[in-house]
């Protein structure tokens, strides 16, 4: 059994567990701590250190993967979503390696979730181009081709009809404008048709908290590409971060 520690940093919570990366199973309880108010780098690092301490000796000496809501380029965070702007341009991987006293892998959260769905979830065994979209406050995206992640796609910011796509089609837009499932699905239709035209994927996966209500909106979409709900839900980031830390075949392009 190959194990790794996966940590998923979000705007409101930080989650972590030790993972059997061969099977995609959590082998410890998932621990969740609140993200520090303001989301500044040193405070988040301190919370991650606290989380690891709660896992005890089982976390000693194993690879660590951390996923984070930002574009991550060569270990540097180039953006910041629902956390402090101090993350922008920060050598985040180096900061965490110094704080934790070990090498880590630091990746975008949607990318980690997408890779997890390919290895352990809804896209396991699917060849070609898989596109994960997470519908939440914004739209996170991940692209995986034959099991290899193409990082930092950020396709929630495609301009469609003169609008940033996530301002119209994210789940937050449905809530903000009190849209019915039918009206929101019309917006999703435009978004996914645009992705189809640009990338010709083999499979769409829909994640985010709203995916548990997939029966209310996915059947309303008329696409040429299969579209299915994510399977791993709240554990996807943890699983993907752990798998990337081990650098098992596939990984990042």
| DSSP 8-state code for residue 241 | H
160 and 207 assigned to the same domain: yes
pTM: 0.89
Q: Is the pLDDT of residue 168 over 80?
A: yes
Q: Is 175 helix (H, G, I), strand (E, B) or coil?
A: helix
Q: Is the pLDDT of residue 143 over 70?
A: yes
Question: Is residue 194 assigned to a domain?
Answer: yes
- Residue 253 pLDDT grade (very low, low, confident, very high; cuts 50, 70, 90): low
Question: Is residue 118 assigned to a domain?
Answer: no
Question: Is residue 202 assigned to a domain?
Answer: yes
Each residue of 235-247: pLDDT tens digit? 999 999 999 999 7
- Cβ atoms within 10 A of the Cβ of 36, count? 16
pLDDT for 248: 56
14 and 106 assigned to the same domain: yes
60 and 139 assigned to the same domain: no
Question: Is residue 42 assigned to a domain?
Answer: yes
**Mean pLDDT, rounded, for 195-201:** 97
18 and 98 assigned to the same domain: yes
| Mean pLDDT of the residues in the chain | 94
7 and 107 assigned to the same domain: yes
Helices (H), 108-235: 109-120, 165-169, 171-176, 181-199
CB contact burial 140-149 (16+ within 10 A = b; e otherwise): bbbbbbebeb
pLDDT for 47: 98
**Mean pLDDT, rounded, for 84-101:** 96
Please report the DSSP string for 78-142 in residue order: ---SSS-GGGTTB-HHHHHHHHHTS-EEEEEHHHHHHHHHHHHSTTTT--SEEEEEEESSSEEEE
| Most confident residue range from 146-150, 183-187, 229-233 | 183-187
pLDDT for 50: 97
Q: Is the pLDDT of residue 138 over 60?
A: yes
144 and 214 assigned to the same domain: yes
215 and 197 assigned to the same domain: yes
193 and 148 assigned to the same domain: yes
**Mean pLDDT, rounded, for 169-198:** 97
**Mean pLDDT, rounded, for 177-193:** 98
Domain at 163, CATH number: 3.30.420.40
Question: Is residue 117 assigned to a domain?
Answer: no
Question: Is residue 219 assigned to a domain?
Answer: yes
Length of the chain: 253
Instruction: Domain of residue 64: give its range.
Output: 3-112+234-252
The residue with greater pLDDT, 219 or 81, is 219
Question: Is residue 218 assigned to a domain?
Answer: yes
149 and 190 assigned to the same domain: yes
Q: Is the pLDDT of residue 166 over 60?
A: yes
**Count of structural domains within the chain:** 2
Distance CA 182, CA 204 (A): 19
99 and 184 assigned to the same domain: no
Each residue of 95-109: pLDDT tens digit? 999 999 999 999 999
Q: Is the pLDDT of residue 80 over 90?
A: no
Question: Is residue 244 assigned to a domain?
Answer: yes
pLDDT for 137: 84
**Mean pLDDT, rounded, for 43-67:** 96
91 and 130 assigned to the same domain: no
Q: Is the pLDDT of residue 250 over 60?
A: no
């Amino acid at each position: 059994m190959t194990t790794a520690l996966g940590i998923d940093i979000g705007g409101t919570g930080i989650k972590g567990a030790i993972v059997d990366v061969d099977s995609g199973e959590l082998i410890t309880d998932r621990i969740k701590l609140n993200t520090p108010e303001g989301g500044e780098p040193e405070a988040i690092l301190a919370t991650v250190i606290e989380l690891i301490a709660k896992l005890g000796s089982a976390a000693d000496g194993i690879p660590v993967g951390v996923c984070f809501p930002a574009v991550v380029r060569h270990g540097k965070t180039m953006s910041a979503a629902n956390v402090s702007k101090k993350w922008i341009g920060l050598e985040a991987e180096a900061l965490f390696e110094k704080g934790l006293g070990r090498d880590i892998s630091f990746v975008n959260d949607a990318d980690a979730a997408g890779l997890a769905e390919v290895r352990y979830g809804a896209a396991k065994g699917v060849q070609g181009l898989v596109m994960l979209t997470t519908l939440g406050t914004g739209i996170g995206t991940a692209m995986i081709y034959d099991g290899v992640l193409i990082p930092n796609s950020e396709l929630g910011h495609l301009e469609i009809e003169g609008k940033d796509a996530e301002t119209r089609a994210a789940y937050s837009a449905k809530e903000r404008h009190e849209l019915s499932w039918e009206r929101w699905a019309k917006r999703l239709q435009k978004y996914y048709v645009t992705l189809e035209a640009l990338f010709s994927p083999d499979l769409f996966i829909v994640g985010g908290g709203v995916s548990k209500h997939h029966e209310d909106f996915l059947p309303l979409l008329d696409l040429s590409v299969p579209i299915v709900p994510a399977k791993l839900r709240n554990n996807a980031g943890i699983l993907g971060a752990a798998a990337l830390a081990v650098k098992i075949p596939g990984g990042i392009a």
